[in-house]
Amino acid sequence: MKEGFIKISGGPTHVITWGRWIEEPLDDVPEIVICIPGNPGLVGFYTEFLHLLYEQLGEKIPVWIIGHLGHEEPSKDCKTEVPCLKGNEKIFDLNGQLYHKKEFIQRFVPRNTKIHLIGHSIGAWMVMHLLEFQDIRQLVKKCYLLFPTIERMIDSSNGWNFTKIGIPLYTVLGFVIPLFNRLPKYLQICGVQIYFWLLNIPKSFIETALEYSKAPVMEKVIFLAKDEMVRVRDLDQSLMERHLSLLKMYYGTTDGWVPVEYYKEICRKYPKIDAELDKESIDHAFVLRNSEAMSRIVGKMIKEHSEILK
């Protein structure tokens, strides 16, 4: 595993790779896997899942993940700082994050390398819209949309909770986050450990959670989520029809963002769709507790469409 921050769309972006670093030659690499996360887009939440996926693929296909711009801050010795949100909203909203991923692929993936493109949650929306760029579509072998938030986010139970409860709470109590950031690190860790204990989240994510709790990061995460509520409304049927053959979709049965009814409706609209309903009670935020199961499931999907693993 190798990781670092690279400048994309004017800001430092956290990237982690298994098998081949992004700046190493890829001329002899016929296929790679690229994962676009959900929101929050902190790559630390995905390391266990992608490490296990890399092993599922026999360590024969490089696996990359790119975080969302502004969702992590590099160390103080980094030459590039994350721009502030105010005055730079266009690079942090949904379209900005989409073009951020477009620039990454165009810069680092050679024309002779095929991509297995994973999109989790809002990352699935980004994956689908990346296919609208012809030069990227030509590189894509298959897209794997996991718990895809591609329609009616605000109508879901979690969408209602976020807009009616989450946003007002953040507006009123947002001042607590900078105060939390000023606490000694050991007290911050204690606070996160208590929260993790209440929600039964593994302690291995503490460092990533501390990064997430930084005020400049949190405001960009919330800003993107608000934009999602506005932008991700009705299903883009023309987009679906243009790229249906490239899509493999995986829906949950206990998903507060993507209820089972969305799965049933999309299957009725598109009888030929390659969509699957989870049978293992895996959470929408699978990276927290279900990485092993999802790595096995996604590994099987990729093996079915990979030329070098057949």
Q: Which pLDDT value is given to residue 304? A: 95
Q: Which pLDDT value is given to residue 186? A: 87
Please provide residue 193's backbone torsions phi and psi, each rounded to the nearest 5 degrees: -60, -40
Q: Which residues are catalytic?
A: 121, 255, 284
HSE value, Cβ hemisphere, 13 Å, CA-based, for 94: 21
Separation between Cα atoms, residue 274 and residue 306, nearest integer Å: 16
Look at strands 2-8 and 11-18 and give their pairing. antiparallel
Range of the structural domain that residue 67 is part of: 2-305
Q: Which pLDDT value is given to residue 157? A: 97
Each residue's pLDDT, cut to its tens digit, for the chain (310 residues) gives: 999 999 999 999 999 999 999 999 888 899 999 999 999 999 999 999 999 999 999 999 999 999 999 999 887 777 788 999 999 999 999 999 999 999 999 999 999 999 999 999 999 999 999 999 999 999 999 999 999 999 999 999 999 999 999 999 898 878 888 888 888 988 889 988 888 888 888 888 999 999 999 999 999 999 999 999 999 999 999 999 999 999 999 999 999 999 999 999 999 999 999 999 999 999 999 999 999 999 999 999 999 999 888 7
Separation between Cα atoms, residue 183 and residue 193, nearest integer Å: 15
Q: Which pLDDT value is given to residue 297? A: 98
Structure tokens of 209?
Answer: 């959670």
Task: For residue 172, count CB atoms less than 10 angstroms from its CB and return exposed for 0-12, middle for 13-18, buried for 19 or more.
Answer: exposed
Residue of 77, 95, 105 lying closest to 12 (CA atoms): 77
Domain assignment present for residue 101? The answer is: yes
Domain assignment present for residue 310? The answer is: no
For the domain that residue 291 is a member of, what is the CATH number? 3.40.50.1820
Q: Which pLDDT value is given to residue 286? A: 97
Separation between Cα atoms, residue 174 and residue 216, nearest integer Å: 11
Domain count for the chain: 1
Domain assignment present for residue 132? The answer is: yes
Separation between Cα atoms, residue 264 and residue 64, nearest integer Å: 32
Domain assignment present for residue 155? The answer is: yes
- The per-residue pLDDT for range 118-169, each reduced to its tens digit, is 999 999 999 999 999 999 999 999 999 999 999 999 999 999 999 999 999 8
The whole model's pTM is what? Answer: 0.95
Separation between Cα atoms, residue 201 and residue 305, nearest integer Å: 33
Domain assignment present for residue 15? The answer is: yes
Structure tokens of 121?
Answer: 């949650």
Structure tokens of 192?
Answer: 């996160």
Measuring CA to CA, how many Å separate 281 from each of 251, 260, 276, 291? 10, 12, 13, 13
Q: What is the largest CA-CA distance in the chain?
A: 56
Q: For residues 152 and 232, is the Cβ–Cβ distance under 8 A? A: yes
Measuring CA to CA, how many Å separate 229 from each of 3, 36, 90, 156, 226? 31, 19, 16, 10, 5
Domain assignment present for residue 25? The answer is: yes
